[in-house]
Copies of this chain bind each other. A is one copy, B any other.
Amino acid sequence: MVARFMSLKEAVSSSVRHGDTVAMEGFTHLIPHACGHEIIRQGLRDLTLIRMTPDVIYDQLIGAGCARKLIFSWGGNPGVGSLHRLRDAVQDHWPHKLEIEEHSHAAMANAYDAGAAGLPCAVFKGYRGAELPRVNPNIKFIECPFTGERLAAVPAIRPDVAVVHAQKANKKGDVLFEGIVGVQKEAVLAAKKSIITVEEIVDNFDDVPFNAVMLPHWAVGAIVEVPGGAHPSYAQGYYKRDNAFYKAWDEIAKDRDSFAAWIDENVIKGGPEDFAARRNENRA
C-alpha cells in the first residue's frame, strides 16, 4: 500500500468489491460516515462488516442491504437505545438474513491488535465464565505453556479493506489521529487495503509531537479529503458529536419506510460534499 489522493467515489470503487470483508472503525469519535454513504450509493452487496460498535453507520449499511455478515461486540445506539435496522435484520431478516459473529470488546480490540501485528490469532484473558464461547466457534481456549493458565483465543482481524476517518493528512500522505484514537491505526495496519477520509490535507506535519498517533504514507491506501466526513460522529478540534442526530436516528430507523426515505433523500441523492455543511452546524 502507498498513499494515493483521490475522490471518495474513486476510493470506494477502486478498493471495495462485492463480498469483501470491510472494517469501518472509529470509536464514537471519527466514524467514517461519508464513506459509509458512498458504499451504499455504489450498491455494494454481501459485505462482511466488522466493527466493535456497529452504531448508526452500520445500521444504515445493514438497512440498505449491503451486509451479509456482521462481526461486532456491542450493537446499540450509544446512550439512546437499539439499532432498529440491525435488530430488524437479526430478528426478522429484513431486508434479508444477516449472519452475526459476536465477541466482546476485549476480544475485538485484541483481534485488531493481532491483525496489525501479523499474528494469526489473539490470546487474552477473556470470556471467563461467559457464554459466548458456546455460540461462537471462533472463540477457543489455549493453555499457557508455562503456567497452564487457560487463555481465550480469537482469530486476528485481517479485513480486505479498512475505512477510517482522521483529522489530517499531509501532502506526502502521512495521516494523523488525535483524541480518542480507538482501533483505527490497528484496523489500517491489519487490512490489505484502506480508505482514509480526512478533515483536511495540510502541507506538512512539522508541529506534530514525536509520539503522535500516525500512519506513514507507505502504510495507507486511498486518502480523500472530506470535511465533516465523520458526521454525526465528530472530529476533535473540528466539530462536536451531533448528539441530537443520534437521538433523532431512533425515530428515523424505527420504521422501514421512514428509514428508506431517509436513505434515499440523504444518501442516494446526496454526496460527500454535503458533509461540510454538517460540520459547520456542529462547530467545536
Contacts and interface: CB of A to CB of B under 8 A. Distances in A.
A186 B138 CA distance: 29
A121 B178 CA distance: 31
Nearest to A121: B144
A79 interface: no
Contacts of A43: none
Given A120-B149, A121-B147, A123-B123, A179 B140 contact: no
Nearest to A236: B210
A35 B151 CA distance: 37
Contact of A146 (B146, B153, B236): B153
Nearest to A153: B145
Nearest to A208: B209
B151 A119 contact: yes
A210 B179 contact: yes
A242 to B, nearest CB: 21
Contact of A147 (B120, B125, B149, B179): B120
Interface in A83-118: 117-118
A140 B151 contact: no
A123 B177 CA distance: 28
Nearest to A138: B146
Given A123-B119, A211-B179, A211-B213, A146 B140 contact: yes
Contacts of A153: 144-146
10 contacts: A117-B124, A119-B123, A120-B144, A120-B151, A121-B147, A138-B146, A142-B145, A177-B211, A178-B211, A210-B236
